[in-house]
Amino acid sequence: MKQHLNIKIYGLVQGIFFRATAKKQAEKLNITGFARNEPDGSVYIEAEGEKNNLDKFIKWCNKGPSMAEVEKVIIEESKLQNFPNFEIY
């Protein structure tokens, strides 16, 4: 069953290709949605996909790309948006 998650990632997550790497991960896991930088220095992601793929994606978000220093990840479930693909904003 498809789920929609709002994911907010805090730490050293901007300027290190976090969003671009998240897009690659999402596409590999058949996840749609988007990632954007927030003014507070965090990265905000909306992700939709099968639960087991979202679980793998969240595990990745807690680590991020090699230069990331993830401090915390906040996840909320939300209503499906049926995104056609994964975008970076």
pLDDT of 55 = 98
**The total number of structural domains that make up the chain:** 1
Strand order in the sheet with 43-50: 69-78, 2-12, 43-50, 32-37, 86-88
Question: Does 50 fall in a domain?
Answer: yes
What is the pLDDT tens value at each position of the chain, 89 positions in all? 999 999 999 999 999 999 999 999 999 999 999 999 999 999 999 999 999 999 999 999 999 999 999 999 999 999 999 999 999 99
Question: Does 77 fall in a domain?
Answer: yes
Known active-site residue 53? no
SS (H, E, C) 6-50: EEEEEEECCCCCHHHHHHHHHHHCCCEEEEEECCCCCEEEEEEEE
- Give me the catalytic one of 6, 19, 52, 53: 19
Residue 15 lies in domain? 2-82
User: What is the pTM for the complete model shown?
Assistant: 0.97
Question: Does 24 fall in a domain?
Answer: yes
**DSSP SS3 for 89:** coil
Question: Which CATH number characterizes residue 77's domain?
Answer: 3.30.70.100
- Give me the catalytic one of 36, 37, 52, 85: 37
Known active-site residue 36? no
pLDDT tens track for 4-21:
999 999 999 999 999 999
